[in-house]
Amino acid sequence: MLFRKLALAVALTSALSASALACTTVVVGEGATADGSFLIARAADSSALKAQHFVIHPAKTNQTGVYRTKDHDGATNFEYPLPKNSMRYTTVPNWKTQLHGAVGYNEAGVGISGTESIFARDDALKIDPYNEATGITEDDIHDVILPRAKTAREGIKVLGEIVETIGAGEGFGVVFVDPKEVWYFETGTGHQWMAHRTPKDMYFASGNQGRLQAYDPKSDEFMGSKTLIEFATKHGFYDPAKDGAFNFSKAYCRDDGRDRVYNDPRVWQIQKLFNPSLEQKPDEGRTYPVYLKPEKKLTVEDMKTVLRNHYQGTEHDPYNPVLNGKEPWRPISVFRTYESHVMQVRPWLPKEIGEVAYVGIGMADLSCYVPYYYGLESYPAHYGIGTDKADSESIYWKYRKLQTLVMTDYQKLAPIVQAAYKTFEADTAKAQAKMEDEYMKVVKKDPKAAKKLLNDFNLKVMNDAEALTESLTNQVFTIRTEDIQAANFFANNKRKD
Give catalytic residue positions.
Answer: 23
d(CA 89, CA 357): 13
d(CA 474, CA 468): 10
Pairing verdict, β 370-373 and 66-68 = unpaired
d(CA 358, CA 235): 44
- On whether the CB atoms of residues 3 and 329 are closer than 8 A, the answer is yes
Q: In what order do the strands lie in the sheet with 182-187?
A: 103-105, 111-117, 172-177, 182-187, 193-197, 222-224
- On whether the CB atoms of residues 314 and 235 are closer than 8 A, the answer is no
d(CA 156, CA 111): 12
d(CA 26, CA 173): 11
Q: Following DSSP, what letter does each residue of 253-302 receive, concatenated? A: B--SHHHHHHTHHHHHHHHHHH-TT----TT-GGGS-SEE--SS-B-HHH
d(CA 69, CA 439): 39
Q: Following DSSP, what letter does each residue of 430-467 receive, concatenated? A: HHHHHHHHHHHHHTTT-HHHHHHHHHHHHHHHHHHHHH
Query: Which candidate, 106, 115, 117, 103, places its Cα nearest to that of 39?
Result: 103
d(CA 207, CA 268): 10
Q: What are phi and psi of 292, to 5 degrees?
A: -135, 145
- On whether the CB atoms of residues 94 and 75 are closer than 8 A, the answer is no
Query: Which candidate, 151, 33, 19, 141, places its Cα nearest to that of 78?
Result: 141
Q: Write out the H or E segment, with its range, that includes residue 397.
A: helix 395-406
Neighbours of 427 (CB within 10 A): 12
Q: Is 6 helix (H, G, I), strand (E, B) or coil?
A: coil
Pairing verdict, β 203-206 and 291-292 = antiparallel
C-alpha dihedral over 465, 469, 470, 472, to 10 degrees?
130
